């Protein structure tokens, strides 16, 4: 959120999709300039667009319903996907001699919390683009009903990120949430009840970003700034530079030094955070019993895992929530618990006495403060500790440093900042092979949970196969 919450808020109302063709055309018109000037995407490549053209042709002919399940490494992905649908697909259709009705678009599912930090304009824009919100940490019946109806009857196909949010990594797919598979099976059920013959499919789409000119100089500057912010350096003097240059691959010695400094930065931050939770929250972080000569990356990964668990437990104890499930599951439940204390559905705020309002404000303020621990964890749920070492590319260095920048900014008490652009990028989108949901209808009728789990796992495998 842009600033600390100190007052109770009215409930978060459902924002119904309200697609406006004029707004859509306006967004498409400014998209090339926006991508180049504001999000530093200078080139777009799409692989296997023909598959998506065929699905849209079948959708518009009333033969199929589908959901575009896309990777979500960065906040810039919606712009890339809008380019895919509004430009790449129509262009390929023309080349193939396929006539598609305009607009070629999708109903995107988004997190209801996005307008809270992205601002009023985004809160207005998303429904005008036909997007539908969901609350991630609860069974949001109004939103789920809207998604279900759009999947079966909407003007466009659906689109959503099965990862549930950005993970900051080009080459790691976070564990997928089962909701996307469940939406697919619900659509099959709804079509069968209506005696309709359309098939239902999930279409995996990979998204990756590559720097056109590897920004080694910019990466070194970001590393130096973070070293200063964490106290590793008292100042950033000219002698601190390794002499890296954009577009020039570092020497083996420079690469080794850069990686060692990245490792040292991570260890420094871990030590500071471990001391913080130990001294002020009485937490004794439990680490696995690793041998003295264990790989430093394995040791760092073990410490990080323990730290993330500790941070979530601090918040969970405040909200009286049991630590259950994956880190992502725990983050979702904590977010919802915080929202329930901030955006009050159980109170008539106008009817409260001044004293009651003051107590409600106090509860909201404390909830927001505790959610801070969860926000720290959100950035690191996919960090492995070996990501850069396994493949020390400019992209992997950048992804890791940008995650650490987000953490340091939170420690400094700063509001979330726009993503840092280190240089012009090329986005590569890869359209995969559709996964039929209709073909699994019998399995779903026999064992719903097993069918959802299996489809989610198959989608995970399919999305991981799209990483280049």
Q: Specify the 3-state DSSP secondary structure of 240.
A: helix
| pLDDT of 25 above 50 | yes
Q: Say what the pLDDT of residue 386 is.
A: 86
Q: Of 92-106, 219-233, 261-275, 285-299, which range is least confident?
A: 285-299
Q: How confident is the model at residue 285 (pLDDT cuts 50, 70, 90)?
A: confident
Quick check: 409 and 416 in contact, CB under 8 A?
yes
Alpha helices, H only, 165-295: 179-193, 216-229, 252-281
Place of tokens 């949010």: 165
The residues, any chain, with a CB within 8 Å of residue 306's CB and separated by 6 or more, are 285, 286, 287
Instruction: Give CA–CA dist 110/157, Å, rounded.
Output: 15
Instruction: Give CA–CA dist 61/303, Å, rounded.
Output: 54
Quick check: 22 and 103 in contact, CB under 8 A?
no
Cα Rg for the chain, rounded, in angstroms?
23
Instruction: Give CA–CA dist 63/433, Å, rounded.
Output: 17
Instruction: Write out pLDDT tens, residues 357-394.
Output: 999 999 999 999 999 999 999 888 878 778 999 999 99
Instruction: Write out pLDDT tens, residues 393-424.
Output: 999 999 999 999 999 998 998 876 778 899 99
Quick check: 184 and 204 in contact, CB under 8 A?
no
Over range 258-265, report the average pLDDT.
94
Q: Burial, 409: exposed, middle or buried (Cβ in 10 Å; 0-12, 13-18, 19+)? A: middle
Q: Which residues of 294-308 are buried (b: 16+ CB within 10 A; e: fewer)?
A: eeebebbbbbbbbbb
293 vs 58, residue with greater confidence:
58
Instruction: Give CA–CA dist 200/203, Å, rounded.
Output: 10
CA nearest 73: which of 345, 463, 385? 463
Q: Burial, 49: exposed, middle or buried (Cβ in 10 Å; 0-12, 13-18, 19+)? A: buried
Q: Say what the pLDDT of residue 416 is.
A: 67
Over range 130-138, report the average pLDDT.
90
Q: Say what the pLDDT of residue 238 is.
A: 76
Query: What mean pLDDT is reported for the chain?
Result: 93
Quick check: 379 and 403 in contact, CB under 8 A?
yes
Over range 74-81, report the average pLDDT.
96
Instruction: Give CA–CA dist 136/163, Å, rounded.
Output: 11
Q: Say what the pLDDT of residue 341 is.
A: 96
Quick check: 401 and 223 in contact, CB under 8 A?
yes
Q: Say what the pLDDT of residue 380 is.
A: 85
Instruction: Give CA–CA dist 103/355, Å, rounded.
Output: 53
Instruction: Give CA–CA dist 289/268, Å, rounded.
Output: 21
> DSSP letter string over 315-372?
HHHHHT----S-HHHHHHHHHHHHHHHHB-SS--GGG--HHHHHHHHHHHHHHHHHHH
Q: Say what the pLDDT of residue 1 is.
A: 42
| pLDDT of 463 above 50 | yes
| pLDDT of 298 above 50 | yes
Residues of the chain with CATH 3.40.1130.10: 21-212+425-465
CA distances from 184 to 64, 201, 222, 310, 401 (A): 12, 7, 43, 36, 37
Phi, psi of 113 (to 5 degrees): -80, -15
Tokens representing 139? 């069974």
DSSP 63: S
CA 12 to chain centre: 21
152 vs 165, residue with greater confidence:
152
Tokens representing 449? 């949970």
Strands 107-111 and 132-134: parallel
Tell the CATH superfamily of the 21-212+425-465 domain.
Answer: Glycerol-3-phosphate (1)-acyltransferase (3.40.1130.10)
CA nearest 55: which of 164, 156, 193? 156
Over range 195-219, report the average pLDDT.
97
CA nearest 160: which of 85, 72, 73, 84? 72
Q: Say what the pLDDT of residue 276 is.
A: 95
Q: At what angle do helices 354-378 and 394-411 cross, to 10 degrees?
A: 150
pTM higher than 0.85, yes or no?
A: yes
How many residues are there in the chain?
468
DSSP 9: B
User: What number of helices (H) and strands (E) belong to the chain?
Assistant: 17, 8
Instruction: Give CA–CA dist 216/202, Å, rounded.
Output: 38
């Amino acid at each position: 959120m842009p600033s600390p919450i100190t007052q109770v808020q009215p409930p978060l109302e459902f924002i119904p999709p309200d697609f406006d063709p004029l707004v859509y055309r306006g967004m498409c018109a400014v998209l090339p300039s926006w991508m180049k000037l504001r999000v530093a995407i200078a080139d777009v490549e799409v692989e296997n667009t023909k598959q998506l053209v065929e699905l849209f042709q079948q959708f518009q002919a009333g033969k199929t319903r589908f959901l575009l399940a896309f990777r979500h490494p960065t906040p810039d992905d919606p712009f890339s996907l809008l380019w895919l649908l509004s430009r790449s697909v129509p262009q390929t259709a023309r080349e193939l001699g396929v006539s598609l009705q305009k607009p070629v678009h999708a109903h995107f599912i988004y997190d209801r919390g996005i307008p809270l930090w992205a601002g009023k304009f985004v809160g207005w824009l998303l429904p005008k683009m036909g997007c539908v919100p969901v609350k991630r940490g609860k069974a949001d019946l109004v939103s789920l009903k809207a998604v279900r109806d759009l999947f079966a009857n909407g003007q466009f196909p659906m689109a959503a990120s099965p990862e549930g949010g950005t993970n900051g990594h080009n080459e790691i797919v976070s564990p997928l949430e089962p909701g996307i598979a469940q939406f697919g099976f619900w659509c099959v059920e709804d079509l069968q009840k209506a005696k309709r013959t359309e098939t239902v499919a999930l279409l995996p789409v990979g998204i990756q970003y590559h720097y056109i000119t590897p920004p080694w100089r910019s990466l070194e500057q970001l590393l130096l700034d973070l070293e200063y912010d964490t106290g590793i350096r008292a100042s950033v003097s000219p002698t601190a530079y390794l002499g890296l240059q954009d577009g020039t691959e570092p020497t083996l010695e420079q690469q080794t030094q850069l990686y060692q400094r990245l490792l040292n930065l991570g260890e420094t931050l871990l030590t500071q955070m471990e001391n913080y939770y130990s001294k002020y929250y009485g937490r004794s972080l439990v680490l696995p019993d690793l041998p003295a000569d264990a790989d430093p990356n394995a040791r760092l990964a073990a410490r990080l895992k323990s730290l993330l668990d500790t941070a979530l437990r601090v918040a969970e104890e405040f909200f009286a929530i049991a630590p259950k499930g994956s880190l992502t599951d725990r983050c979702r439940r904590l977010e919802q618990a915080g929202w329930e204390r901030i955006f009050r559905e159980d109170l008539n705020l106008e009817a409260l006495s001044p004293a009651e309002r003051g107590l409600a404000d106090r509860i909201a303020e404390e909830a927001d403060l505790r959610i801070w621990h969860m926000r720290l964890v959100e950035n690191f749920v996919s960090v492995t500790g070996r990501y850069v070492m396994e493949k020390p590319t400019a992209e992997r260095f950048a992804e890791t440093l940008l995650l650490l920048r987000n953490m340091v900014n939170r420690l400094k008490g700063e509001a979330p900042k726009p993503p840092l652009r280190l240089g012009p990028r090329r986005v590569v989108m890869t359209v995969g092979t559709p996964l039929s949901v209709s073909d699994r209808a019998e399995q779903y009728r026999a064992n719903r949970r097993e069918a959802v789990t299996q489809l989610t796992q198959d989608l995970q495998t399919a999305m991981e196969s799209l990483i280049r």
